[in-house]
Copies of this chain bind each other. A is one copy, B any other.
């Protein structure tokens, strides 16, 4: 590696790679509103994006909002605080073929109708409905996963079929923001399992990106942005995670250790938000850490107080991953392109995975919570910049 190269991040000229209209909605009268924040894997010579697809019924009446949630046949209790009215029940597409891991999955989707004039509800955030105390009572869409495949890393073909639908009580509001890590012959997917019980961390695994096995809830709410290290270190598995503390503490990145991927302990604060800077509001790991000679490269997102999400970078010690060697002062990628500065939730670049080829990092990312894009940079100058001792 040479450190003389300039660090320059190059957006792919064909961005965005995928947009909502590229994905068929689950029902003819639904709309896909986002295809974004994909986990990334290399499998059988292809690059796989495990896309987050957010969809909902097309909205017809101006004074109301239709929101989908998983529910029992009676539609009961999936969205208890929203004072919503059950409009209809739909069967989940392809449920039987979904590689169900033995959970007693609710068999249906309930479409709930909320009154936009309800003075108890707050509809200002396009992503969620809140009550007057700021508590989220439901989401405005439901997210599932869908696979796209590519040989060249930029032209993607979507798999047919319904994709991976949420299932069970911890996923009744959707599954979001997957990260994919190859370990011990399987691919391990950590994701946000969202329900009225909170935002927990779910895990599923697959050997072939066709059958997916649920591995349970690995961290209790509220926690997000879990990435696994792609190999054991000193005999243990490691993850980065991002609790959202209540009352005391900040949304910082923590590290934890496991003997078996299923059970986690030895939690330590790894790195925190930085007051007054681009990552002052919250931070969270992007994809699985990338092994380099200089250390584990962590691409992470940081949001400021206005919810502008940028991507940044940090370097962790190879053998003691709870030690931060260096952290880039400035962001690596800032929302600037039009697909990053306008969209469903504007001003967001949010990566859940990357691929390294010949010293070049292809970082895939969701833009404005509705499309997928990618950007490329050389590894060597980034590592070179971060190999200085920590200030």
Is there an interface contact between B266 and A265, defined as CB atoms closer than 8 Å?
Answer: no
Q: CB of A247 within 8 A of chain B?
A: yes
Q: CB of A269 within 8 A of chain B?
A: yes
Interface pick from A4-12, A149-157, A213-221: A213-221
Copies of this chain in its oligomeric complex: 2
Alpha-carbon gap, A262 to B217, bound state (A): 17
Q: Of all chain B residues, which has the CB nearest A216?
A: B266
Alpha-carbon gap, A194 to B200, bound state (A): 22
Least CB distance from A137 to B in Å reads: 9
Q: CB of A244 within 8 A of chain B?
A: yes
**A344-364 contact mask (Cβ, 8 Å, vs B): 1 or 0:** 000000000000000000000
**A242-275 contact mask (Cβ, 8 Å, vs B): 1 or 0:** 0111111100101011111011111111000000
Q: CB of A136 within 8 A of chain B?
A: yes
Alpha-carbon gap, A360 to B125, bound state (A): 54
Instruction: List chain B residues, Cβ under 8 A from A223.
Output: 220
Number of interface residues of A (CB under 8 A): 44
Q: Of all chain B residues, which has the CB nearest A264?
A: B263
Is there an interface contact between A196 and B248, defined as CB atoms closer than 8 Å?
Answer: yes
Q: CB of A206 within 8 A of chain B?
A: no
Is there an interface contact between B197 and A222, defined as CB atoms closer than 8 Å?
Answer: no
Q: CB of A331 within 8 A of chain B?
A: no
Is there an interface contact between B216 and A248, defined as CB atoms closer than 8 Å?
Answer: no
With A198-B243, A222-B243, A264-B265 already in contact, the answer to whether A248 and B217 are too (CB < 8 A) is: no
Within A95-109, the residues touching B (CB, 8 Å) are none
Is there an interface contact between B263 and A243, defined as CB atoms closer than 8 Å?
Answer: no
Q: What are 25 A-B pairs at a CB distance below 8 A?
A: A135-B247, A136-B247, A136-B248, A195-B248, A197-B245, A197-B248, A198-B243, A199-B248, A199-B249, A216-B266, A216-B267, A217-B265, A218-B265, A220-B254, A221-B246, A221-B249, A222-B243, A222-B245, A222-B248, A244-B247, A245-B246, A258-B263, A258-B265, A262-B266, A264-B265
